[in-house]
Structure 1
Amino acid sequence: MSDWFKDSVVYQIYTRSFKDSNRDGIGDFGGVIEKLDYLKDLGVDVLWLSPFCDSPNDDNGYDISDYLTIMPEFGTMDDFDALVRGAHSRGMKIMMDLVMNHTSDEHPWFLESRSSRNNPKRDWYIWAQPSQGPGEGFEEIDFDQAGRGYAGRARGPRLSGVDTGFLPNNWDSYFGGKAWEFDPQTGEYYCHIFSKKQPDLNWANPEVREEMFRIAHWWIDRGVDAFRLDAVHHIGKPEDWPDAPVPKEPWGFCLYKNTPETHAYLQEMNRRVFQPRAVLTVGETGGTTPESARLYVDSDRNELDMIFHFAHVHMENPNDASALTGLMSQWYAALKPGAWDAQFFSNHDLPRQVSSFGDDRWLRGKSAKAIAALLLTSWGTPFMYQGEEIGLPNAYFPDIGDYRDIHALRGYREGLVSGEDPELVMAVFQTRNRDNSRTPMQWSGEANAGFCEADVQPWIPVPQQNRHINVGAELAGRVEYAPGGSIGGAGILSWYRDLIALRKRYSVLRRGAYAPVNPNHSRVICYLRYLEDPAFTEDPARSKELGHSSPVQSEDQPRAGEKTLALVIINWTGTQADYHLSPRLLSQAEYLDTPPEAVKDGSLSGFSLEAGNYAVPGTPGPGEESLGGLCPDESGAIQGGTTGVADFAAALGGDSGEFDSDDDLPETGRPVLGSAPAKKMRLRPWECRVYLG
Structure 2
Amino acid sequence: MKHIINLCLFFALMLFSSESTLAQNKKTTIIKNADTKWWKEAVVYQIYPRSFKDSDGDGVGDLKGIISKLDYLKSLGIDAIWLNPIYTSPNDDNGYDVSNYRQIMKDFGAMEDFDLLLKGMHERGIKLIMDLVVNHSSDEHEWFKQSRSSRNNPYRNYYHWWPAEKGKPPYRWSCFDVNSDAWKYDAQTDSYYLHYFSQKQPDLNWENPKVREEIYDMMKFWLDKGIDGFRMDAFQFASKDTTWPELPKGYEKNVIKYYGVGPHLHDYLQEMNREVFSKYDIMTVAEGAGSSPEDAMQFVDPDRKELNIAYHFESVDIGKHLKDFGLVKYKDIFSRYDNAFKDKGWLSIFLANHDQPRMVSKFGNDTPKFRAISSKMLSTFVMTMRGTPFYYNGDELGMVNIRFDNISDYNDVQTKNKYLELKNKGGDLKAYIEEQKQTSRDNSRTPFQWDTTQNSGFTSGTPWLKVNPDYKTVNVIAQEKDPNSVLNYFRRLVQIRKNEPTLVYGNYTLLDKENPDVFAYSRELNGKKMLVLLNFSAKMASFNLGIALNKSTIVLDNYPNTSKITNSTLRPYEAVILEFK
What TM-score results when the alignment is normalised by the length of structure 2? 0.90
2:154 aligned residue: 120
Report the Cα distance in structure 1 between the residues aligned to 2:473 and 2:341, rounded to whole angstroms.
Answer: 42
1:213 aligned residue: 216
Contact between 1:524 and 1:572, CA under 8 Å: does it hold in 2? yes
The one-letter amino acid of 1:502's match is: I
Contact between 1:172 and 1:251, CA under 8 Å: does it hold in 2? no
1:389 aligned residue: 396
Q: Compare 169-178 and 58-67 and name the one that shifted more.
A: 169-178
Contact between 1:237 and 1:255, CA under 8 Å: does it hold in 2? no
Report the Cα distance in structure 2 between the residues aligned to 1:296 and 1:213, rounded to whole angstroms.
Answer: 18
2:322 aligned residue: 318
2:56 aligned residue: 22
Contact between 1:244 and 1:254, CA under 8 Å: does it hold in 2? no
1:540 aligned residue: none
1:393 CA displacement: 0.2
Contact between 1:175 and 1:194, CA under 8 Å: does it hold in 2? yes
Contact between 1:171 and 1:251, CA under 8 Å: does it hold in 2? no
Q: Which residue, 473, 476, 496 being the options, matches 1:471?
A: 476
Report the Cα distance in structure 2 between the residues aligned to 1:435 and 1:423, rounded to whole angstroms.
Answer: 18
Report the Cα distance in structure 2 between the residues aligned to 1:411 and 1:116, rounded to whole angstroms.
Answer: 32
2:87 aligned residue: 53
Contact between 1:412 and 1:429, CA under 8 Å: does it hold in 2? no
* 1:353 and 2:359 matched: yes
Report the Cα distance in structure 1 between the residues aligned to 2:399 and 2:302, rounded to whole angstroms.
Answer: 37
1:170 aligned residue: 171
1:508 aligned residue: 502
Closer, same or farther: CA 302–274 of 1 in aligned 2, 3 Å: same
Contact between 1:67 and 1:215, CA under 8 Å: does it hold in 2? yes
The 3-state SS of whatever aligns with 1:229 is strand
Give the greater-gyration-radius structure (CA): 1
Q: Which residue, 489, 493, 497 being the options, matches 2:491?
A: 497
1:589 aligned residue: none
Tell me which protein shows more helix as a share of its residues.
Answer: 2
Q: Which residue, 80, 96, 105 being the options, matches 1:71?
A: 105
The 3-state SS of whatever aligns with 1:442 is coil
Q: Which residue, 223, 226, 230 being the options, matches 1:227?
A: 230
Q: Which residue, 443, 460, 467 being the options, matches 2:465?
A: 460
Deviations 1:202-236 (A, max 9, x none): 11111111111101111001111010110010111
Contact between 2:537 and 2:573, CA under 8 Å: does it hold in 1? yes
Q: Which residue, 556, 564, 570 being the options, matches 1:683?
A: 570
Structure 2 runs not aligned, ≥5 long: 1-34
Q: Which residue, 296, 300, 303 being the options, matches 2:303?
A: 300
1:520 CA displacement: 1.3
The 3-state SS of whatever aligns with 2:214 is helix
Q: Which residue, 37, 42, 56 being the options, matches 2:76?
A: 42
1:605 CA displacement: 3.8
Closer, same or farther: CA 62–422 of 1 in aligned 2, 3 Å: closer
Q: Which residue, 334, 349, 374 being the options, matches 2:340?
A: 334
Report the Cα distance in structure 2 between the residues aligned to 1:94 and 1:214, rounded to whole angstroms.
Answer: 19
1:364 CA displacement: 0.1
2:540 aligned residue: 576
1:663 aligned residue: none
2:121 aligned residue: 87
The one-letter amino acid of 2:503's match is: L
1:191 CA displacement: 0.8
Contact between 2:176 and 2:418, CA under 8 Å: does it hold in 1? no
Report the Cα distance in structure 1 between the residues aligned to 2:299 and 2:379, rounded to whole angstroms.
Answer: 27
Report the Cα distance in structure 2 between the residues aligned to 1:29 and 1:19, rounded to whole angstroms.
Answer: 8
Deviations 1:452-494 (A, max 9, x none): 12xx1111111224432100110122xxxxxxxxxxx511001
1:185 aligned residue: 188
Closer, same or farther: CA 340–63 of 1 in aligned 2, 3 Å: same
The one-letter amino acid of 2:333's match is: L
Report the Cα distance in structure 2 between the residues aligned to 1:509 and 1:606, rounded to whole angstroms.
Answer: 19
The one-letter amino acid of 1:567's match is: L
The 3-state SS of whatever aligns with 1:573 is coil
Q: Which residue, 250, 258, 263 being the options, matches 2:261?
A: 258
1:275 aligned residue: 278
Report the Cα distance in structure 2 between the residues aligned to 1:287 and 1:215, rounded to whole angstroms.
Answer: 26
Closer, same or farther: CA 565–253 of 1 in aligned 2, 3 Å: closer
1:566 aligned residue: 530
The one-letter amino acid of 2:544's match is: H
1:402 aligned residue: 409
* 1:12 and 2:13 matched: no
2:384 aligned residue: 377
1:285 CA displacement: 1.5
The one-letter amino acid of 1:174's match is: C
The one-letter amino acid of 1:440's match is: P
Q: Which residue, 545, 555, 564 being the options, matches 1:610?
A: 555
Q: Which residue, 192, 197, 200 being the options, matches 1:194?
A: 197
Contact between 2:302 and 2:345, CA under 8 Å: does it hold in 1? yes
Q: Which residue, 133, 136, 143 being the options, matches 1:99?
A: 133
The 3-state SS of whatever aligns with 1:114 is helix
The one-letter amino acid of 1:464's match is: P
Note the aligned Cα RMSD (angstroms): 1.7
The one-letter amino acid of 2:379's match is: A
Contact between 2:517 and 2:541, CA under 8 Å: does it hold in 1? yes
Report the Cα distance in structure 2 between the residues aligned to 1:247 and 1:389, rounded to whole angstroms.
Answer: 39
Contact between 1:258 and 1:288, CA under 8 Å: does it hold in 2? no
Deviations 1:260-290 (A, max 9, x none): 3111100110111111112110021165211
The one-letter amino acid of 1:578's match is: S
Report the Cα distance in structure 2 between the residues aligned to 1:58 and 1:401, rounded to whole angstroms.
Answer: 16
1:240 CA displacement: 2.7
Closer, same or farther: CA 286–301 of 1 in aligned 2, 3 Å: closer
Q: Which has the higher contact order (CA 8 A, sep 6+)?
A: 2
Report the Cα distance in structure 1 between the residues aligned to 2:249 and 2:430, rounded to whole angstroms.
Answer: 35
The one-letter amino acid of 1:333's match is: N
The 3-state SS of whatever aligns with 2:519 is strand
The one-letter amino acid of 1:113's match is: S
The 3-state SS of whatever aligns with 1:314 is coil
Closer, same or farther: CA 375–33 of 1 in aligned 2, 3 Å: same
Q: Compare 394-403 and 300-309 and name the one that shifted more.
A: 394-403
Contact between 1:575 and 1:685, CA under 8 Å: does it hold in 2? yes
The one-letter amino acid of 2:174's match is: S
Structure 1 runs not aligned, ≥5 long: 133-164, 478-488, 535-563, 584-602, 617-670
Deviations 1:22-53 (A, max 9, x none): 11111000010111111111010001110001
Q: Compare 254-263 and 304-313 and name the one that shifted more.
A: 254-263
2:12 aligned residue: none
The 3-state SS of whatever aligns with 1:260 is coil
Report the Cα distance in structure 1 between the residues aligned to 2:140 and 2:252, rounded to whole angstroms.
Answer: 32
The 3-state SS of whatever aligns with 2:81 is strand
Report the Cα distance in structure 1 between the residues aligned to 2:254 and 2:329, rounded to whole angstroms.
Answer: 26
Contact between 1:474 and 1:493, CA under 8 Å: does it hold in 2? yes
The 3-state SS of whatever aligns with 1:614 is coil
Closer, same or farther: CA 191–64 of 1 in aligned 2, 3 Å: same
Report the Cα distance in structure 1 between the residues aligned to 2:428 and 2:232, rounded to whole angstroms.
Answer: 39
Deviations 1:519-566 (A, max 9, x none): 1111100000010x35xxxxxxxxxxxxxxxxxxxxxxxxxxxxx211
* 1:290 and 2:235 matched: no
The one-letter amino acid of 1:396's match is: R
The 3-state SS of whatever aligns with 1:33 is helix
Aligned identity (percent) is 42
Report the Cα distance in structure 2 between the residues aligned to 1:612 and 1:35, rounded to whole angstroms.
Answer: 29
Report the Cα distance in structure 2 between the residues aligned to 1:113 and 1:96, rounded to whole angstroms.
Answer: 27
Report the Cα distance in structure 1 between the residues aligned to 2:532 and 2:110, rounded to whole angstroms.
Answer: 45
Report the Cα distance in structure 1 between the residues aligned to 2:192 and 2:253, rounded to whole angstroms.
Answer: 23
The 3-state SS of whatever aligns with 1:292 is helix
Contact between 2:256 and 2:291, CA under 8 Å: does it hold in 1? no
Report the Cα distance in structure 2 between the residues aligned to 1:20 and 1:91, rounded to whole angstroms.
Answer: 24
